[in-house]
Amino acid sequence: MARARKGALVQCDPSIKALILQIDAKMSDIVLEELDDTHLLVNPSKVEFVKHELNRLLSKNIYNPMDEEENQ
């Protein structure tokens, strides 16, 4: 029997999917279903939170050469 779930379909590359799953591991109510390598079904009320957390995580990993110049 098929089951229906309300969710937001997220399409992303595998590296972003891994980050979303990492966020979900801490909260455990974000990802409803892993569909394949590039698609997730996400709780619609958590989409903005996921975007915010992804931006925060990705901004920590950005190299900015201006930061080095300021520290010297």
Show me where the domains of the chain are located. Answer: 8-63
What does the pLDDT read at residue 70? Answer: 63
What does the pLDDT read at residue 71? Answer: 62
Class of CATH domain 8-63: alpha beta
CA distance 7 to 35: 12
Q: With helix as H, strand as E and coil as C, how does 15-63 read?
A: HHHHHHHHHHHHHCCCEEEECCCCEEEECHHHHHHHHHHHHHHHHHCCC
Q: Mean pLDDT, 10 residues at a time, over the chain (72 residues)?
A: 88 96 92 96 96 92 71 61
Instruction: Provide the whole-model pTM.
Output: 0.78
Amino acid at the residue 24: D
What does the pLDDT read at residue 64? Answer: 72
